[in-house]
Amino acid sequence: MNKKRQPLIGIDLGGTNLRVGLIKDNKIIKISTEKVTKTGSAEDIYNGMVRMIESIIDSHTAGMGIGVPGLVEEGVVYDLANIPQWKEMPLKHLLESRFNIPVYINNDANCFAAGEKYYGHGKKAGSVIGLIIGTGMGAGVIINNKLYEGRNCGAGEFGCIPYLDHNYEYYCSGQFFANKYKTTAHDAERQACHGNKEALRIYREFGAHLGMAIQTVLYSYDPELIVLGGSVSKAFALFKDSMYEALTGFVFKKTIQNIKIEVSEIQDIAIYGAASLYYDSLIKGLPRGTGAATKV
């Protein structure tokens, strides 16, 4: 892949904001942001997105990627909680017809992994797991330099794996702080940074659970690199030691010696990640107009 890349558009269709960015020479040079509205018709919301794209696109733009917090099949977006009007939105077809450039749509966790592969810590790694620990737990999987989604688009759903009396998501995301200690990860972090012993203990416990989840990741895919993202990952210093301590029980010691675990450092990773779908399509050799199904 050439270091000097073609201009791309990345779109982050988040829970509260729609952000559209134009990336040129590996940097976002223009960005447009609007609140996601649950009012108005499906057509109105789509037309608003088109206007945002029109405000930043240029004649050299090679492609467009979109990350969504929901289900996509063959470029059709289904039942987004943040946009209930889009029950079955053929977004890929509409945007390709409108702008005459290839459009790729994928789950936001897959976009995160792709963004780290092409713009972040994973540039030199052939196998990367992008593990998001925020309000929930999600993951994207890069194998042999390509996004791997599985036959039925379920690859990387580590949060759904049963663990203790619930699953990994219950113990390895913001849900842990809310469900077990009736607080938030942010409040616990703030108290821990002020030396509160109970908050420090809670984060050590969280790290132990996350270490067990990472063991499952290692047994499943044995990647070169794991990149942590999401709001809870910002408190890495508070749970790093207990997370690594939990990994000492891993059977294959060479794996633990070699594995690299990093925290994402890219601002606007969601936009970069969405744009990275274009490069993933080149690696996979996908022709224009195709769109793999993507997981929730």
Q: Which residue ranges form the domains of the chain, and what is each CATH number?
A: 8-110+268-284 (3.30.420.40), 125-263 (3.30.420.40)
Helix (H, G, I), strand (E, B) or coil at 163: strand
Q: What is d(CA 19, CA 203) in angstroms, rounded to the nearest whole number? A: 32
E strand or H helix that includes residue 272: helix 269-284
The larger pLDDT score, comparing residue 276 to residue 72, is at 276
The pTM score is 0.92
pLDDT band, very low/low/confident/very high, at 295 (cuts 50, 70, 90): very low
Quote the strand ranges of the chain, DSSP E: 8-13, 17-24, 27-35, 63-68, 71-73, 76-80, 83-89, 103-107, 128-133, 137-143, 146-147, 162-163, 166-167, 225-229, 260-263
Mean pLDDT computed over 45-69: 94
Q: What is d(CA 194, CA 192) in angstroms, rounded to the nearest whole number? A: 5
- Which amino acid would we find at residue 93? H
E strand or H helix that includes residue 113: helix 108-119
pLDDT at 13 > cutoff 60: yes
Specify the pLDDT at position 4.
60
Q: What is d(CA 106, CA 88) in angstroms, rounded to the nearest whole number? A: 15
Mean pLDDT computed over 118-147: 96
pLDDT band, very low/low/confident/very high, at 294 (cuts 50, 70, 90): very low
pLDDT band, very low/low/confident/very high, at 85 (cuts 50, 70, 90): confident
Q: Any alpha helices (H) in 140-268, and if so which ranges?
A: 168-171, 174-181, 185-193, 197-221, 236-247, 253-258
pLDDT at 104 > cutoff 60: yes
pLDDT at 8 > cutoff 90: yes
